[in-house]
Amino acid sequence: MTPQLAALCIDAHDPPALARFWGEFLGWKADGDTTLLPADDTGFRLRFLPTSEPKTRQNPMHFDLTSDTDEEQQATVARALALGARHIDIGQLPEEEHVVLADPEGNEFCVTEATNTFLAECGFIGALACDGSQAVGYFWSAALGWPLVWDQNEETAIRSPHGGPKITWGGPPLPVKTGKNRLHFDLAQVEIDRLVALGATRLGAAEGRVLMADPDGNEFCVLG
């Protein structure tokens, strides 16, 4: 079996409304009220799941969206704001050129500057940027069968052989994890025992899914 990253799941207080925001912003088609299908080479769905839990901390993963020109960056920011996003301050420095925004439920994302060469060959979703150790980057590379495209100073990145966004991990220091993450991966066509051998932990099962955690403790699901 070839492992698949089937979906990035996002907990939401109003899943249909958040799906509409991201669908309009990304230009992706809806599959029902709460799932979006990629209209580019991203390679995985976005699924919005109901939760009543409040958002109390910065998410450990967020999208980095690319720009080819300064004007394109400005237009992307303006489009996001018109759809309901807002500017936020997460401690970015004045000299940093990327723009930090939050969607209508407070989930962070960045619109990168045109001079960002690290994401130059990627599509509009240039990266899914994650907090994480070097070890967890190695874990996900092995679990998905995606090669490492960056491994320096404990920072790692992987990318599907078929293209699409990079998934990056920033290395130490890592924030303290408190509670369940609002974003998690759904995997398909992957063996549970193999994931455990790579360092994952089995947490339980629910609704045809096996609940697991990667070596950093981040939750993910394996679809039945």
Cβ contact 157:127 at 8 Å: yes
One digit per residue, pLDDT tens: the chain, 224 residues?
789 999 999 999 999 999 999 999 999 999 999 999 999 999 999 999 999 999 999 999 999 999 999 999 999 999 999 999 999 998 887 878 999 999 999 999 999 999 999 999 999 999 999 999 999 999 999 999 999 999 999 999 999 999 999 999 999 999 999 999 999 999 999 999 999 999 999 999 988 899 999 999 999 999 98
User: φ and ψ at 168, to 5 degrees?
Assistant: -120, 150
Contacts of residue 209, Cβ cutoff 8 Å, sequence gap at least 6: 186, 221, 222, 223, 224
When computed from its CA atoms, the radius of gyration of the chain, rounded to whole angstroms, is 17
User: φ and ψ at 156, to 5 degrees?
Assistant: -135, 160
